[in-house]
Amino acid sequence: MILMVVSTGKFRHLPVVDNGEVIALLDIAKCLYDAIARMERAAEKGKAIAAAVEGVEKNWGTSVSGPNTFIEALRERMFRPSLSTIISENLKVVTVSPSETVLAVAKKMLEFRSSSAVVVVENKPRGILTSKDILMRVIAQSLSPDATFVEKVMTPNPECATIDTPIVDALHTMHDGKFLHLPVVDRGNLYMEVISYTYVCVGDPANF
């Protein structure tokens, strides 16, 4: 139920309230990873996928009413072989140069409704800038967005996946590295697009 609410609402965090007071903040990334880990562990032990789904739902208090439930969709996406099976040809990606200002990039991100921009040189990823980077490395440091160049605040040499990378491996990479966006390159190491943790699980890249 919680994952359905967050997915439908297209937000990453959900306040937990007790008697009208906020006592915690739930992060969808952790919820999704926990669900994936449970299903993966069950599969490794040779159990049926249905048993893994049942275990996840029992712990989270959700209920399966048919084949099109959120957990069923999540399970189907997780165990497809590679990223090439879920990458959308129509996914709009923001690409920028290292010499652009943060303000210019932020405007592009707003235009494309994207939470990240990939910094490319000769069509190869050289860095990544996310909305979190802008908040923590620019705004919080009292830097001027229109006078700060992307190369000064981007994450350089980001870890990348290929279209042949297994979906579960891509999720583990993002979880272990504590980041939510992963550039994807083709077999020639040329930049293709960027996927988010939530997009891989839910299938909607907007607003994440």
Task: List the alpha helices (DSSP H) in 156-196.
Answer: 167-177
Domain ranges of the chain: 2-79, 85-202
The reported pTM is: 0.63
CATH topology of domain 85-202: CBS-domain (3.10.580)
| The residue type at 206 | A
State residue 204's pLDDT score. 45
Confidence of residue 207 (pLDDT cuts 50, 70, 90): very low
> For residue 74, is pLDDT > 70?
no
> For residue 125, is pLDDT > 90?
no
